[in-house]
Structure 1
Amino acid sequence: MKCKSCGLEKDPSLFYESDKKTCKDCVKARVRKNREERIEYYREFDRNRANNPERVQARKEYLSTEAGKESKQKTIRKYKENNPKKRAIHITTGNAIRDGKLTKGLCEVCGTDDNIVAHHCDYDKPLDVTWLCAIHHTEWHKENGEGENAH
């Protein structure tokens, strides 16, 4: 079969059943380009979809299964392997809180004491933290990006 997008002759198995005119590679490239061009729309769409009560419940139920528990543990292991410096700083921060060398404060944006996290602008300074609630921590990263030294 010949793909109408790339013009290459390809095996029929390289086309989706629903679209026998465009090969899978071209369809995937078009979808990636569309998402990249409309990233803000898709981020909002993904957030709304993730917060749908039925999907929240489905995730909760899945995480209570053996497969869900294994998947979560695999994700945690992968994070630890891919972020050894961040992981070490998280441990250092947790130990400092436990040992009384660092005291959790209120969110520096809204003043709440609910769900406070230690935000590190510089991982080379493990005890130099900004206390933020989970909401403002997420907002900080949306506004400032996820650089190597940002958490």
Structure 2
Amino acid sequence: MINCKYCKTDKPIDDFYQSSIRKYGKSGNCKECIRARVRANRADKIDYYREFDRNRANLPHRVGARKEYAQTEQGKERHAAGIRAWRSRNPAIYQAHNMVNNAVRDGKIIKPSQCESCSDETSLHGHHCDYNKPMDVMWLCDPCHKQWHRENEPVYCSELKAS
């Protein structure tokens, strides 16, 4: 048994992390206390850690590793599983997307060539401001679409009714 220097309780040796500089080869604080301090530190400095995580995820070797993984059989399976999970969690949104795609395919909705916000001629996303009106879409480029979501919240519905 070792006494934790933080919570002052005696705990088994297995409840401590390895340490090369401490007696018994274990750290002075138990795993539980260390984890609690790490969680509290992250909560106190959440903005810093979110920015750190974002920057770390965008490092070239990490982006490359994700792209390589996406090309593997396991990566393709995980991607497909993620899509299936999203569709099962968001059936009304998925149905609205399908309705618009089918209407564009059938010529019932004409997809414009320019973004409605910035008039950029690039690939466009059909954006729903209100999922209760699935055929009412704005055609936005990717940057404008992301900007819209940063500034607004779409209206979701519990049950999508066919219009």
Report the TM-score, using the length of structure 1 for normalisation. Answer: 0.76
- Helix, strand or coil for the counterpart of 1:113? coil
Question: Which has more radius of gyration?
Answer: 2
Per-residue Cα deviation, 1:90-141 (whole angstroms, up to 9, x for no partner): 1111111111222223223322232311111111000111222112222222
1:80 aligns with 2:103: no
SS of the residue corresponding to residue 81 of structure 2 reads helix
Task: Report the secondary structure of 1:139's partner residue.
Answer: helix
C-alpha spacing 1:12/1:119, structure 2 compared with 1 (3 Å): farther
2:141 to 133, 139, 148: 133
In 2: Cα distance, 1:103 partner to 1:128 partner? 12
Q: Secondary structure at the match of 2:139?
A: strand
RMSD: 2.9
| Aligned counterparts of 1:64 and 1:5: Cα–Cα separation in 2 | 47
Cα separation, 2, equivalents of 1:31 and 1:101 = 55
Q: CA deviation at 1:76?
A: 0.9
Query: 2:119 is paired with a residue of what secondary structure?
Result: coil
CA distance in 2, matches of 1:51, 1:12: 39
Identical pairs, percent: 48
**Distance in 2 of aligned mates of 1:148 and 1:33:** 35
Instruction: Tell me the equivalent position of 1:92.
Output: 99
Aligned length: 148
Find the counterpart in structure 1 of residue 128 from structure 2: 120
Deviation at 1:62, TM superposition (A): 0.6
How far does residue 80 in structure 1 lie from its aligned partner after superposition?
Answer: 1.0
Long gaps (5+) in structure 1: none
Q: Which residues of 2 match residues 1-151 of structure 1 at below 5 A?
A: 12-17=13-18, 21-24=29-32, 26-105=33-112, 106-144=114-152, 149=156
TM-score normalised by structure 2 residue count = 0.71
Q: Distance in 2 between matches of 1:27 and 1:148?
A: 42
C-alpha distance after superposition, 1:16-55 (max 9, x if no partner): 446551434x544544444444444333333322322211
Structure 2 contact 125–141 (Cα < 8 Å) conserved: yes
Aligned AA (1:137): H
Where does the alignment leave 5 or more consecutive residues of structure 2 unmatched?
20-26, 158-163
SS at match of 1:119: strand
Q: Distance in 2 between matches of 1:37 and 1:108?
A: 41
Q: Distance in 2 between matches of 1:5 and 1:140?
A: 48
